[in-house]
Structure formats: C-alpha cells, structure tokens
Structure 1
Amino acid sequence: MEEPGFRVLLREAGDRKMEAVRAVRTVTGLSLWNSKLLLDSAPVVVTGPNWLEVADEAARLLEDAGARAAVLCDWCDRTITRGADPMDPAPCKGPWPAEACRASCPPASL
C-alpha cells in the first residue's frame, strides 16, 4: 500500500515577515525574492508531498518564524493537528482503509 504524503500549507505571513521569508527559503530552497513572493501569496502550499515528520518539521520552522502553517494529508486533505494522538479522530475520507491513514492513526514511533 502506498504511503500518504503530507504537504505544508502556509496560511499567513505573520508579524515577523523577514523571519518568515527566511523560514520559507529554508523550507523550499527558493531565493529570498521568490520566498517573499510565495509568502505574499499565502495561503499557499509550500512543500510537495513528503513524510509526516518532514512536513511537521517544516511547519514548525515556519511557525517559529511567526508564520501560520498547517500540515495537510494527501490522502484525505485533512489538516493534521500537530502533536495530537490521534492527530484527527474523524474517519479518513480517502480511498484507503481508515486504520491505514496516518492522519487518523499516527505511527507508534511518533
């Protein structure tokens, strides 16, 4: 069975815009100019599908810089509540069994 990917949604730039631009640059690898353009176009997805831990770390970096970010599940497009267990108690709306959805049932290693 294919693993779901998790994307990071940048919701708002926040008050510390320069720090947020640098965080977007760190997460995406874009230039400062393109990072600023991406930040100005919020809400926008800033990462492609990735492992939950990678997406969670990227969202943490953005939030530490003052931006508002969320992690989205590619299977069911739900917003993942970081640090919760289960992350989202609602059933998965994707085509896979709910017990396989990491948005509902995170791995035991987290």
Structure 2
Amino acid sequence: MADEYFLLVCDDVPHDVVLTAPGARVLDVAQVVRQMTGLSLWRSKVLATQVPALILDGVPQEDATAAVLALRDVGAQAEIREQPEPDDLKH
C-alpha cells in the first residue's frame, strides 16, 4: 500500500493589513489605527507616519477587508497581504 500524504487547507488563511501611505489626514488615519489596535493616539500616529507599517497581523479576510476600507475612507493607502504558509508545509 502506497503512503498517502494530505495537505490540510485552512478555510481562512491569516492576513496582514499594511498601511502603505497615510495620505493628507494623518491624524484621522491615526485615530482609525487606534480604534483597530487599541494603541494610544501618540503610538498610532507614530505608526501611521512610519510606512510601510503592519497594522494588523494574522486576522481573517473579513476583518482585514474592513480594516483596509476604514483606512481608505480617511484617505490612507492600505493593502491586504496573505501570510505565507510555513516552510514545513511547502512541497
């Protein structure tokens, strides 16, 4: 009997939200970052000005999409990045 190997596929691959540009309304972007992360307003402003910045790490697709839309609504540029699969699962 031949050995069979199965790759388990997760239904929801973790995603990262990356802020690529804060736009003209940095304070508005910092407030959105604060709401998403729970950081202080000062730390959120620092994070919003040091781009590219990882805002959320390992969140589901729906949460990542909502976060990117919220950032874009205040004039920022943000993107969703799919987390790479671990090396031990690659073929």
TM-score interval (norm. to shorter)? 0.7 to 0.9
Superposition TM-score, scaled by structure 1 size: 0.66
Query: d(CA) in 1 for partners of 2:53 and 2:27?
Result: 18
**2:39 matches 1:44:** no
Q: For residues 4-59 of structure 1, give each alpha carbon's deviation from its aligned partner in whole angstroms, at most 9, with x where no partner exists.
A: 20000000110111111111111111110000110111111110101000001011
Q: Which has the higher helix share?
A: 2
In structure 1, what is the equivalent of residue 90 of structure 2? 95
Moved over 2 A (4+): none
Unaligned runs of 5+ in 1: 77-93, 97-110
Q: If you compute each CA radius of gyration, which structure gives the higher value, 1 or 2?
A: 2
Partner of 2:33: 24
2:32/2:70 contact within 8 Å kept = yes
- The code of the aligned residue for 2:90 comes to P
Name the counterpart of 1:56.
Answer: 65
Matched, 1:69 2:78: yes
Which structure is higher in RCO with an 8 Å CA cutoff and minimum separation 6? 2
CA RMSD of aligned residues (A): 1.8
Q: Distance in 2 between matches of 1:71 and 1:95?
A: 22
Q: Count how many residue pairs are aligned between Structure 1 and Structure 2.
A: 79
- Structure 2: which 5+ runs fail to align? 1-7
Aligned residue identity for 1:25: R
1:13 matched residue in structure 2: 22
Give SS of 1:61's match: helix
Deviates more, 1:2-11 or 1:65-74: 2-11
Letter in 1 for 2:38: G
Identity %: 30
Contact 2:26 2:49 in 1 (8 A): no
More strand by share: 2
